[in-house]
Structure 1
Amino acid sequence: MQKTQSTFETRSLFDLAGWLAMHGDEILDTMKHISLEQTRRYYISSRRRIQFWLNCTRADAVVDKFNAAESALVSGIVTRVWTALARGIATESGGKALVVFEQICEDHAAVNERARFSVELDGPSHKLRSLRRQCEQSTDYLLAFLPAECYAGVYAHDRVRFDKRQVEIDYERESGQLEAARCFTRHTLHAKFEWSHLGDRLIQCRQAPYHRQVISSMISMMDRDLMPIPEMWSRFYSPHKSASAAELVVWN
């Protein structure tokens, strides 16, 4: 299958979560406020993607259900990291956007379970269960990189695992080894995803637009002049785009 602009690797979602988590300090330093329009755009694009996944759980083809479950699990890492960052920004600015972000996080967790259940109605999926464990572990490891004001442990799957990793990260930060910790974590988690062949997976063309909309709504909240955005994600930067009136009617 050829890569096109309408597809990208499933693992790219994990790469995005890694960048957000490992550079959380810089992101918080440059994002002091989340506007109502930015919040609304994120909410609408996220709800559209969640609805797409829910529709897939009702599909007859098992492959459609599996693809939706796989995509929802991996993108769930991004959602939890981004929600923790939003909490950090809200702590600084007293913004009300956090309620919306946390609602999306809860809805995403619910659709993860729904998608997994729809797949396992046709029989146990050991690959999906393995991926779920990897995603949960990766989430906790990445959340540990976020600053204290994010209260990232709230979004961890296993608080004991998160606390243990956070102690290690704090030590590495204080001893000047943070960059080494970032590299080690990236390579370790990448190896696990490669082992499950996720690195070769391409998101379906039907799903890709929904992911692009959510990613764009997130990246566009940043100030590109203050926060250097990697080229891989800067193409999603469109800060002046807003949700259409039709979408607001559907999702409000």
Structure 2
Amino acid sequence: MAGPVLTPDIDTYKGNCHCGAFIFKIKIPKLSSVTECNCSICFKKGYKWIFPSSGNFTVEKGEGSLKDYKFGTREIVHKFCPTCGTGIMRQRQDGTDLAVNARALQGVDLWSLKVIKYDGAAIEPFYSPLAFTGPEPTAEIENYVRYTGSCHCGAVNLALKNSGPLVQKVAPIEPVDGVIGECDCSICARMGRILTYRPPAQISVHLNHGIILSSYSFGSTQFEHRFCPVCGVAVGVDDVVENMKAVNLRCLDGVGWKEIETYKHRGSEEGPAYIDPK
């Protein structure tokens, strides 16, 4: 005789883009893991995927407010907030095969979750990096290494001139000049960036004709968070007080990730506290 069929306890999680224009709820088993894919779009966006079953995703505010991005076969639609750049979800054109970005959830410690790796980069068609077409960074650095890259759609091109290869084999205990790091504050957690700050002369940003780089700021407005208005990929941050720029290394080609251990900054523990929208 068969025993009882056990079903996992279902929890309800609330989520939102950073600016609060889009709010949703999902019902899933207690969250303990996320899936990270290394394909071109997932890596650049820093997605952490969860997969709610059909009927367990509900929009509470902002229905129709998200911007769509499609590429390749155009079967999959990636949706992000056009105001703050938060990547929310992806699904097929017919609404099936929904995946939600755990970065948008409220009250979740992303760094405590188990990560399941998926090798999407091994699946054809392969992504081809785009050639940099903008002006060179103006900084004068001896024996420099130049890194170039772009957002996913190619509307925003980037170049970083660095004093040697990007290497950080051991993450520092405290932030230092040139540190390569991640942060779990309300905006950084949602944008999924891996940043390094440099003087503006070391970074060049070139926009395709007709493109205006999206910018989002809040609170003290010291930081302007930049992202592509077409594909939603976060490309960097401008610190308008300290006159420094950060580039999102996820956008750059040729970075030796095996040589980098990112510094993890607990920005979530610093004030002022972010208030989750209701």
Instruction: Tell me which interval the TM-score lies in, with the shorter structure as reference length.
Output: under 0.3
The structure whose residues are more often helix, as a share, is 1
TM-score (norm 1): 0.24
TM-score (norm 2): 0.22
The structure whose residues are more often strand, as a share, is 2
**Larger RCO, structures 1/2 (Cα 8 Å, 6+ apart):** 1
